[in-house]
Amino acid sequence: MKKRVLSGIQPSGKLHLGNYLGAIKQHLAAQALPDWDRYYFIASYHALTTSPEREVLRELSLEVARSYLALGLDPEKSVLFLQNDVPEVTELAWVLTCLAPMGLLQRATSYKDKIARGLAPNHGLFAYPVLQAADILVYDSHVVPVGSDQKQHLEICRDLATKFNQTYGETLVVPEAQIKEEVAVVPGIDGQKMSKSYKNTIDLFASKKQLKKQVMAIVTDTKTLEEPKDPDTCNVVTLYKLFATAEETAEMEAAYRAGNYGYGHAKLALLEKLNHALEPHREKYQYYLKHEDEVIDILRRGGKTARAKATEVMARVRDRVGLV
């Protein structure tokens, strides 16, 4: 039997380097694995927790889809779909909600973090981990690639799956998390984790002019050109390492320590690497921007495939629970 890898991304803005290096790159690499099914969904239900406008939600959902396709997702190898094309996920979420202890959800740090950042508290935000668990369990997912910040949510998912199985008998697959620690947290231009919420991102499909503006805005200390610098504490070097060879990184680090090498030099070197890496994808992105019907068709076909699996799982769940 094939195993299934699943992940989702919320349509909350244009995708950035943090999205790519922390998650999407792993998703694309999984396409080379034999004997695996790959399901990637656009988390439109999750996006409703911040009450986006209708047209904004629609556009950002398509933006995620065209970005994945531009970066190399192959619809013949991976299932790309909209969360809302599989209503079974909300049915399973309710079943799991009725098993979820309040204390388990109250300990979720992401809810507290979002409220601390000024998001209006609502039940959707509070119950987010339950819907996320349903996203995973409704497809019999075996492996879920996540950033380290989502590790707690995966543990909640595993707890809920285990509790369901203990209560009703073995029904749901208990998934494993796949965390790539070395790129799980990508620094933004201000040094914090790169995030749309912090407005500190480097966009994947920015024009060359926009990309240069973002790179040159990366925060550094005030050391002069002549002074030696510490590459281990510099955001520019941290980002450069993600695109450069080991030899190129060592050369930049040596230049930092020797002095007479400015942050402007390092930023231009990073910019060159980014342009080289992103240029082919920019062209594909422009193609899908002009062919929206093709993007929608891919999503619809993916939704049918995903829903067929979800229907199978929900039939088992209803039978176990006693829903006639």
Mean pLDDT of 132-136: 97
Q: Give yes or no: residues 18 and 94 share one domain.
A: yes
DSSP type of residue 146: E
φ, ψ (nearest 5 deg) of residue 193: -55, 135
Give the Cα separation of 118 and 15 in Å (integer): 22
**CATH at residue 48:** 3.40.50.620
Q: Catalytic residue among 114, 229, 267, 273, which?
A: 114
pLDDT confidence of residue 114: 84
Any domain includes 307: yes
pLDDT at 182 exceeding the cut of 60: no
pLDDT at 148 exceeding the cut of 80: no
In the residue annotation, 3 being an active-site residue is answered as no
Q: Give yes or no: residues 262 and 159 share one domain.
A: no
pLDDT at 111 exceeding the cut of 90: no
Any domain includes 191: no
More confident residue, 184 or 213: 213
Q: Give yes or no: residues 310 and 243 share one domain.
A: no
Q: Give yes or no: residues 73 and 167 share one domain.
A: yes
Number of domains comprising the chain = 2
What does pTM read for this prediction? 0.90
Mean pLDDT of 244-271: 97
Give the Cα separation of 284 and 278 in Å (integer): 10
pLDDT confidence of residue 147: 67
286 is written with which tokens? 């422009």
Q: Catalytic residue among 180, 193, 212, 223, which?
A: 193
In the residue annotation, 151 being an active-site residue is answered as no
Q: Give yes or no: residues 88 and 220 share one domain.
A: no
Least confident of 22-36, 90-104, 230-244: 22-36
Residues 6+ apart with CB under 8 A from 190: 198, 200, 219
In the residue annotation, 309 being an active-site residue is answered as no
Q: Catalytic residue among 3, 77, 180, 196, which?
A: 196
pLDDT confidence of residue 196: 85
Q: Give yes or no: residues 242 and 101 share one domain.
A: no
Give the Cα separation of 141 and 129 in Å (integer): 16
Q: Give yes or no: residues 219 and 158 share one domain.
A: no
Structural domain boundaries, residue 214: 196-286
Q: Give yes or no: residues 123 and 202 share one domain.
A: no
Q: Give yes or no: residues 57 and 147 share one domain.
A: yes
